[in-house]
Structure 1
Amino acid sequence: MSSQHGNAPYYFIPGPSRWPVLAGASLLLTMAGAAAWVNSVSWGPVANIAGILALLVVLYRWFGDAIRESEGGLYSNRIDVSYRWSMSWFIFSEVMFFAGFFGALFYARTITLPDLASLDYKILWPDFTGQWGNTPAGTIQPFTKMGPFPIPTINTALLLTSGVTLTIAHHALRAGQRSKTAFWLFATIVLGAVFMGFQAFEYIHAYTELNLKLTSGIYGSTFFMLTGFHGFHVTMGAIMLAVVLVRVLKGHFTPEHHFAFEGAAWYWHFVDVVWLGLYVVVYWL
């Protein structure tokens, strides 16, 4: 948020905008392309990538409008409160999003597998034990489960460290130490990028050495959906922090008014917490 609150209107209402409908269309194209891609439809990859690129362009232009309004002194403290509530509800929706995937994982592991290993199914799959990662013979290609060492543990340390560096940057901004803020914010972004690099390497290892794929039964689908969507959120969080870093370098924000920084920090800490849940449930249990 800008520091120019003195002459701001009582409550700023922006004019009609094309960005919401364009963002919705971009997301629709992205998900349609993803659905087609996993079903081996030829136009799926192109549509998915085009949708992602279109969404990035829309977000860039949309955020640019909001930044110009903020720096133009149009945002009062009432707008600040609105942004805080909006970001809070957005993060809550993300909590529910991941809760759905964690719920699917719980249902599969604690209800479905024991039922399939019961006496009722012994005729169909006599050797099936119902253990997580074990599949009935002849149903899918054999694979090896992903363990917690070394990459997942390294990634856990990276994200936890990034939470610390981001907190240091926030305290520096509140103290008016802009150079220190920029340094530690940049360090946070680098840690996030290294995290994504390790995750990409982990996926290559899973496909080439463990034969663990998205088609590897319920284990493979839940593993890649949970970790993949989390990786997407890390990427989006890093982009948000990068935008904030550019604004810090341009002289935006004051020690009293910097919600853009705080909102991105809230999101990053949320991503950290989700990863801790993934690290325990997906890799250890």
Structure 2
Amino acid sequence: MTQNHPFHLVTKSPWPIITSFNIMTMLTGMVMWTTMKKMETLILGTILTTICSMMWWRDVVRESTFQGNHTKMVTKGIKLGMILFITSEVMFFFSFFWSFFHSSLSPNIEIGMNWPPKSIKPFNPMEVPLLNTIILLSSGVSITWAHQAILLNKLNKANKSILITVLLGIYFTILQKWEYSESSFTIADSIYGSTFYMMTGFHGLHVIIGTIFLAVCFSRSKNMHFSLKHHMGFEAAAWYWHFVDVVWLFLYISVYWWGK
């Protein structure tokens, strides 16, 4: 059946409703894990959410790459949606920075009118945090290299640079996990511990999501899904990764260096 408009009328899909139930299962399992130390529901929810996400992504890739449903008008809408999503993420982190500066610029008497609180031994910003900063800045360079390679239709170079970015993202996550294991304070140690782990923890979660996003793009690029004029999936991943980079710069300067 032909259509006389450039828009994509999405076909019926079971994945949105099923995925929402699975995410609810995963979050319920997370609560059970933190309160009752039972991980069965969390593992089940995570596995089901992963499977449904893969099926959903497969359908979107099929619609865009093989069925040609992502016209210029549809791509324009997707770009706007990604911009609004990143804007909402900016507001999300803005609330955490607000909390951090509210407590650090005017420490109240409950934490000894001192920042960091007297019992807290903060991380040295010249050690692992600086290394992580270099890693993320390097990944920003490699993802930009990948974008330019796609625009020049040099897909082999694009594959290499996307893979480098994914590996740097994994390296960053490993170092962040190691830093947490070496920490002398926990999320329960005053407002400093709460804001530190909420800000760095949610940023770490975004790094993991961005790494998965780029890994999917690497697989698609290897399968020749991108061209110099049609690579919106990669472009969205690159925007997201640059957002993650910028947030980390603010985190490093504010929490690790200034807040020391």
Taking structure 1 as the reference length, the TM-score comes to 0.84
Counterparts of 1:264 and 1:51, CA distance in 2: 25
- Structure-1 residue corresponding to 2:113: 130
Counterparts of 1:177 and 1:236, CA distance in 2: 26
Whether 1:204 and 2:181 are equivalent positions in the alignment is yes
Q: Is the 8 A contact 2:25 2:41 kept in 1?
A: yes
Counterparts of 1:257 and 1:185, CA distance in 2: 17
Distance of aligned partners of 1:52 and 1:103 in 2 relative to their CA distance in 1, 3 Å threshold: farther
Q: Which amino acid aligns with 2:233?
A: A
- Structure-1 residue corresponding to 2:245: 272
Counterparts of 2:98 and 2:113, CA distance in 1: 18
Q: Percent identity between the aligned chains?
A: 36
- 3-state secondary structure, aligned to 1:15: coil
- Structure-1 residue corresponding to 2:29: 33
Whether 1:282 and 2:255 are equivalent positions in the alignment is yes
In the TM superposition, residue 92 of structure 1 has moved relative to its aligned partner by: 1.1
Deviation per CA, 1:178-216, whole angstroms, max 9, x where unpaired? 10000011011111111011111101111xxx2x11211
Q: Which amino acid aligns with 1:26?
A: N
Equivalent pairs, count: 255
Distance of aligned partners of 1:281 and 1:26 in 2 relative to their CA distance in 1, 3 Å threshold: farther
Q: Which amino acid aligns with 2:181?
A: I
Q: Is the 8 A contact 1:156 1:279 kept in 2?
A: yes
- Structure-1 residue corresponding to 2:233: 260
Structure 1: where are the runs of 5+ without partners? Answer: 1-6, 118-127, 136-141
In the TM superposition, residue 132 of structure 1 has moved relative to its aligned partner by: 1.7
Match of 1:66 among 53, 60, 71: 60
Counterparts of 2:158 and 2:123, CA distance in 1: 37
Match of 1:231 among 191, 198, 204: 204
Deviation per CA, 1:120-162, whole angstroms, max 9, x where unpaired? xxxxxxxx64112315xxxxxx442222131000000000000
Q: Is the 8 A contact 2:206 2:244 kept in 1?
A: yes
Distance of aligned partners of 1:278 and 1:49 in 2 relative to their CA distance in 1, 3 Å threshold: farther
Whether 1:90 and 2:71 are equivalent positions in the alignment is no
Q: Which amino acid aligns with 1:166?
A: I
- 3-state secondary structure, aligned to 1:11: coil
Q: Is the 8 A contact 1:8 1:74 kept in 2?
A: no
Counterparts of 1:30 and 1:147, CA distance in 2: 35
- 3-state secondary structure, aligned to 1:69: helix
Counterparts of 2:240 and 2:234, CA distance in 1: 10
Decide which structure has greater helix share: 2
- Structure-2 residue corresponding to 1:169: 146
Q: Is the 8 A contact 2:135 2:168 kept in 1?
A: yes
Structure 2: where are the runs of 5+ without partners? Answer: none
Distance of aligned partners of 1:239 and 1:250 in 2 relative to their CA distance in 1, 3 Å threshold: same
Whether 1:101 and 2:96 are equivalent positions in the alignment is yes
Q: CA RMSD in A?
A: 1.9
- Structure-2 residue corresponding to 1:148: 125
In the TM superposition, residue 110 of structure 1 has moved relative to its aligned partner by: 2.8
